[in-house]
Amino acid sequence: MSRKSVGYFEGTDARLLTALVLSGYDTIPVSNGVDHHGICVGRINQETRTDILIGYPHKLTAQPEDDIQIQDVFHVCRTYDIPVILSAPSHLHDQVRALLPETTAVVELADPEDTLNRALELLG
């Protein structure tokens, strides 16, 4: 039986990633298409999918000339049923929703203090 995996964007809190690994999950770097941090999120498919994606809102904002746009990320996540947790302080959640208006049912906002617990809940 294979372990569940967590895709994470560059800059994700190392303490969070360490806690996930120590809880029995694999962590896999994921690129937003600009930073080349890992597998490009736009190229995720059924074979390379992770069980959840974690990152900060600024990693999903894109400039018009960028290869990967926010709608591409959400399309991949909807297609392969991958929940996304964006970590941001609770008092900024409304601003994040305004910045990323296409957030869908696959995207959850979590305060940094709650991100680990929410990830563990989703990973089951």
Tokens of 63: 């400039």
Neighbours of 71 (CB within 10 A): 10
pTM higher than 0.85 for the full model?
Answer: yes
Q: How many domains does the chain fold into?
A: 1
Check residue 18 and report its DSSP letter: H
Give the pLDDT mean for 105-119. 93
- C-alpha distance across the termini of the chain, in Å: 15
The parent domain of residue 33 ranges over 5-123
Say how many CA atoms lie within 13 Å of 59 toward its Cβ: 26
- Looking at residue 74, which CATH number applies to its domain? 3.40.50.880
Q: How confident is the model at residue 2 (pLDDT cuts 50, 70, 90)?
A: confident
46: pLDDT strictly greater than 70: yes
> Which of 12-21, 74-83, 114-123 has the lowest average pLDDT?
74-83
Report which of residues 117 and 61 the model is more confident about: 117
The more confident residue out of 95 and 64 is: 95
- Residue 44 contacts residue 81 (beta carbons within 8 Å): no
